[in-house]
């Protein structure tokens, strides 16, 4: 590589002179430069008329509780999943406002992820430390993100709690330092396990070492997040001011009593239009998960119009839709709008941006970064033109925390929805029985919301 670079063309004074002349030949370049330097690209490139068209009104809306706030943490997927479940629970309880404990599932997710990571290290003892697989495992062993199937694993194993039974802690809401410390310990654990293996320590002894490490990890999590309650009392007043009290509940009994839906009946449907993922087939990702022995991540890849139709079908049946997207693209945070038309980067920078959705995935320009919930859609002659989005960033932005997404943004940056299997066509339902293709751990669809 060094030899080839030595033969490449360097940036010479002559080339720099050409670039300078090209920039200066249009007087408007200087005007735009001054505006962007002073105000930032967002303020200069925004098309206010397009932004104003993104109204927060919808032909179909689902009544939900107030917006939640994940604060300085990456728990959007947990918030989105619990926000879906709380719609049913609030209706059954007869209350307008209700919130489930995100800290509770965060605790168990981190414990399960630690176990999953250490098992992955034991599974790859024969791989070189500098190899791509082990390097990938070590890159980010403990973070807040997750996937729908990982959420299902947690809920089915540990149940759910009202937020009052396990409220937020300092580090559930500000997780960066906790994650750094947990990551450091897991990497140390990995180093110890691999060194012991190289020294000839038998697998049975390594597994004993792992259990000691997990006990230590549990203790750390209790210090950071508090220990989940084994039992709790649940007291509340319904919308008619009637007082209710239930004693000695567990998270499993609460889940079984108040959540009617079977999460196993829901499937992750994606739109990843890359050559290596033909539509109408299923996929999974190696070493992507949290609960060892739990449900594997499973994706059904479809065309984007199918993705849109499935989301519309579930919303118009008055059921919210969990989804994953690349939230940072073409977003106006103050208005809470997601729409490519509201930013004219080409005019502001005199540069065209023309990557396709597939190219953005293949070349690292886009991936799933955030999970939210669709709670409404606006249909014009049966077709969606904008979507109501329940975010988990508090009430300060958007319409009291609710965002609006255009259909064109949906087509460009939406990657995943979760819908009940009953909305799938017969052909797509049959596809679910096939053996999924395994994707490499570093595949863009292996990203965590």
C-alpha span between 140 and 284 (Å, rounded): 20
Q: Assess contact for 99 and 86: CB atoms under 8 A.
A: yes
Q: How far is CA 128 from the centre of its chain?
A: 30
DSSP summary character for residue 295: P
Which residue is listed with tokens 């809920």?
Answer: 155
pLDDT digits (tens, 9 = 90+) for 205-220: 999 999 999 999 999 9
Domain layout of the chain by residue ranges = 60-236+256-446
Q: What is the largest CA-CA distance in the chain?
A: 81
Q: Assess contact for 311 and 377: CB atoms under 8 A.
A: yes
3-state secondary structure of 74: coil
CATH 3.40.50.80 fits 60-236+256-446, yes or no: no
Q: Assess contact for 249 and 231: CB atoms under 8 A.
A: yes
CA-based nearest residue to 446, from 304, 295, 284, 323: 284
What confidence score (pLDDT) does residue 446 get? 96
Q: Residue 8: pLDDT band by 50, 70, 90 thresholds?
A: confident
CA-based nearest residue to 114, from 34, 205, 170, 184: 184
3-state secondary structure of 438: strand
Instruction: Decide if pLDDT at 21 tops 60.
Output: yes
Which tokens in the block code for residue 120? 């992955």
Q: What average pLDDT does this structure show over 49-55?
A: 88
Which tokens in the block code for residue 403? 């965002």
What confidence score (pLDDT) does residue 50 get? 85
Beta-strand pair 321-325/414-420: antiparallel
Which tokens in the block code for residue 386? 């904008």
128-137 long-range contacts (CB < 8 A, ≥24 apart) are 129/194, 132/442, 133/287, 133/441, 136/287, 136/441, 136/442, 137/190, 137/287, 137/441
Which tokens in the block code for residue 449? 């919301």
Instruction: Decide if pLDDT at 1 tops 70.
Output: no
As beta bridge partners, residue 389 has 374, 403
Q: Assess contact for 334 and 328: CB atoms under 8 A.
A: no
C-alpha span between 88 and 260 (Å, rounded): 8
3-state secondary structure of 124: coil
Which tokens in the block code for residue 206? 């390594």
pLDDT digits (tens, 9 = 90+) for 352-391: 999 999 999 999 999 999 999 999 999 999 999 999 999 9
Average pLDDT, the chain: 96
Instruction: Decide if pLDDT at 299 tops 80.
Output: yes
Which tokens in the block code for residue 135? 């390097």
C-alpha span between 386 and 406 (Å, rounded): 4
Q: Catalytic residues, which ones? A: 76, 370, 391
Q: What average pLDDT does this structure show over 151-170?
A: 98
What confidence score (pLDDT) does residue 49 get? 87
């Amino acid at each position: 590589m060094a030899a080839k670079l030595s033969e490449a063309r360097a940036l010479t004074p002559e080339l720099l002179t050409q670039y300078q002349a090209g920039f200066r030949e249009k007087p408007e370049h200087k005007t735009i430069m001054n505006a962007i330097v002073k105000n930032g690209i967002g303020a200069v490139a925004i098309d206010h008329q397009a932004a104003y068209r993104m109204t927060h009104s919808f032909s179909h809306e689902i009544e939900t509780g107030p917006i939640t706030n994940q604060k300085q943490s990456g728990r959007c997927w947990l918030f989105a999943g619990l926000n879906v479940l709380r719609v049913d629970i609030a209706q059954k309880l007869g209350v307008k406002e209700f919130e489930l404990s995100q800290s509770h599932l965060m605790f168990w997710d981190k414990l399960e992820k630690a176990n999953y990571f250490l098992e992955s290290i034991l599974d790859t003892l024969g791989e070189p430390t500098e190899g791509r697989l082990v390097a990938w495992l070590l890159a980010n062993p403990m973070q807040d993100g997750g996937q729908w199937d990982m959420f299902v694993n947690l809920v089915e194993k540990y149940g759910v709690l009202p937020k009052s039974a396990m409220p937020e802690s300092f580090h559930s809401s500000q997780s960066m330092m906790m994650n750094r410390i947990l990551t450091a310990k897991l990497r140390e654990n990995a180093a110890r396990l691999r060194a012991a293996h190289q020294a000839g320590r038998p697998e049975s002894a390594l597994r004993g070492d792992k259990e000691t490490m997990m006990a230590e990890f549990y203790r750390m999590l209790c210090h950071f997040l508090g220990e989940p309650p084994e039992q709790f009392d649940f007291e509340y007043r319904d919308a008619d001011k009637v007082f209710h009290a239930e004693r000695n509940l567990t998270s499993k009994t609460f889940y079984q009593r108040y959540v009617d839906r079977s999460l196993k009946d829901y499937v992750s449907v994606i739109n990843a239009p890359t050559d290596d993922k033909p539509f109408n087939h299923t996929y999974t990702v190696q070493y992507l998960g949290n609960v060892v022995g739990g449900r594997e991540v499973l994706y059904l890849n479809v065309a984007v119009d199918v993705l849109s139709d499935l989301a519309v079908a579930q919303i118009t049946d008055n059921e919210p839709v969990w989804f994953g997207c690349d939230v940072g693209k073409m977003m106006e945070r103050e208005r809470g709008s997601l729409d490519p038309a509201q930013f004219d980067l080409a005019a502001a920078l005199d540069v065209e941006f023309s990557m396709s959705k597939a190219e953005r995935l293949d070349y690292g320009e886009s991936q799933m970064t955030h999970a939210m919930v669709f709670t409404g859609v606006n249909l014009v002659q049966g077709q969606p033109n904008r979507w109501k989005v329940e975010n988990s960033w508090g009430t300060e932005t958007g319409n009291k925390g609710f965002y609006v997404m255009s259909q064109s943004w949906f087509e460009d940056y939406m990657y995943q929805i979760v819908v009940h299997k009953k909305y799938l066509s017969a052909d797509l339902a049959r596809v679910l029985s096939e053996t999924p293709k395994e994707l490499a751990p570093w595949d863009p669809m292996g990203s965590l919301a």
